[in-house]
């Protein structure tokens, strides 16, 4: 009883009917961490958090002077399938909490759940769980995904569920709210599993590889402006004991990425071999090192 009264007293000391006015003034992302500490910690590690301040973006946007480049890297408001406008404040927050959740029309935070949130009004908005939410910026990837008719959404793979957790970490308020599904705000790129890519060998005049993306419902690699790469490295051993190496690089820029469900054929420069090792490696746009996806021997 005493605890409840104390809690109520604390709640009502929170100003004007609990509402925290500055939350409507488009604060910086750090402000949201006062209550949403865990979501903030994940987002802070994400590429969205560095979309504006990354050195590569600064250079390629010619020190933020190329206007057509700016809006997706510091958006004002994200709406499904609409390319966003450029934000005026806190651009260094990149693709920020306020941009993705605050709507000018309702002056409320929109999100996937039905919540009671005294510090700021919230609206349940089912568009948050759909791929179209990401489409205004990830335009090419969205188009690729759409034609695969995949049942899984961008969020299923790039904002995976973390199970039921509290959305706020602020004593004592967190205990007034039930646990709800949380989604990983570090927006992991993930990595294809070996079974996502089928590698077959066909032997005719020369030898050729038949490679099919059967598991990732967009191109591999996929990009709008970044330059991720997929390396196909083939090592051959011949009867006479000699060896040879062949490398093919696939990218969005070279327009030779693996399309979901459509085989890509790669002619190898040899007529015969004793043993062949094929390995697939990927390099994310913002990473130096390559990571291995699979290795098969023939």
Return the residues of window 60-89 that contact ligand HEC according to CB under 6 A: 60-61, 66, 68-69, 72-73, 75, 78, 83-84
Quick one: 209 or 228, whose CB is closer to ligand HEC? 228
Interface positions, 136-175, toward ligand HEC (CB under 6 A): 136-139, 141-142, 145, 150, 152-159, 167-168, 170, 173
8 A C-beta contact, residue 32 and residue 97: yes
Q: Cβ neighbours of residue 118 under 8 Å, at least 6 residues apart?
A: 11, 14, 17, 18, 19, 173
Q: Which of 11, 19, 86, 189: binder of ligand HEC (CB under 6 A)?
A: 189
String of contacts with ligand HEC for each residue 17-56, x by CB under 6 A: ---x--x---x-x-xx-xxx--xx--x---xx-xx--x-x
Closest alpha carbon to 249 in 275, 218, 219, 221: 221
Q: How far is the CB of 27 from ligand HEC (least distance, A)?
A: 5
Quick one: 190 or 261, whose CB is closer to ligand HEC? 190
String of contacts with ligand HEC for each residue 254-283, x by CB under 6 A: ----------------------------x-
From the CA atom positions of the chain, what is the Rg in Å? Answer: 24
| Burial track 152-190 (b if 16+ CB lie within 10 A, e otherwise) | ebbbeebbeeeeeebbbbeeebeeeeeeeebbbbbbebe
Q: How far is the CB of 210 from ligand HEC (least distance, A)?
A: 19
Q: Which of 128, 209, 232, 250: binder of ligand HEC (CB under 6 A)?
A: 128
In terms of C-beta density within 10 A (0-12 exposed, 13-18 middle, 19 or more buried), how is residue 9 classed?
exposed
Quick one: 131 or 273, whose CB is closer to ligand HEC? 131
- CA 81, 87, 91 angle in degrees (round to 5)? 120
Q: How far is the CB of 271 from ligand HEC (least distance, A)?
A: 32
Q: What is the largest CA-CA distance in the chain?
A: 87
- Residues that contact ligand HEC, how many (by CB under 6 A): 99
Judged by CB under 6 A, does residue 90 bind ligand HEC? no
């Amino acid at each position: 009883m005493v605890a409840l009264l104390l809690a109520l007293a604390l709640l009502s000391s929170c100003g004007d009917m609990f509402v925290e006015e500055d939350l409507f003034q488009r604060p910086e992302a750090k402000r949201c961490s006062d209550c949403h500490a865990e979501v903030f910690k994940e987002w802070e590690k994400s590429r969205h958090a560095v979309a504006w301040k990354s050195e590569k973006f600064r250079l390629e946007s010619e020190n933020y002077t190329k206007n057509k480049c700016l809006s997706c890297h510091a958006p004002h408001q994200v709406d499904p399938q609409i390319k966003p406008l450029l934000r005026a404040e806190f651009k260094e927050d990149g693709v920020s909490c306020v941009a993705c959740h605050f709507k000018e029309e309702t002056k409320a935070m929109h999100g996937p759940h039905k919540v009671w949130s005294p510090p700021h009004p919230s609206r349940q908005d089912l568009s948050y769980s759909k791929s179209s939410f990401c489409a205004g910026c990830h335009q090419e990837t969205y188009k690729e995904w759409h034609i695969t008719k995949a049942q899984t959404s961008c969020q299923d793979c790039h904002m995976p569920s973390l199970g039921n957790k509290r959305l706020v970490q602020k004593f004592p308020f967190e205990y007034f709210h039930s646990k709800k599904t949380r989604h990983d705000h570090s927006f992991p790129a993930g990595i294809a599993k070996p079974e996502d890519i089928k590698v077959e060998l066909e032997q005719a005049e020369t030898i050729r590889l038949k490679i099919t993306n059967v598991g990732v419902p967009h191109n591999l690699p996929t990009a709008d402006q970044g330059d991720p790469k997929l390396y196909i490295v083939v090592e051959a051993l011949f009867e006479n004991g000699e060896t040879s190496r062949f490398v093919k690089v696939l990218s969005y820029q070279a327009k030779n990425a693996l399309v979901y469900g459509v085989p890509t054929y790669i002619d190898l420069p040899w007529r015969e071999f004793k043993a062949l090792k094929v390995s697939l490696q990927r390099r994310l746009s913002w990473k130096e090192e390559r990571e291995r996806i699979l290795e098969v021997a023939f």
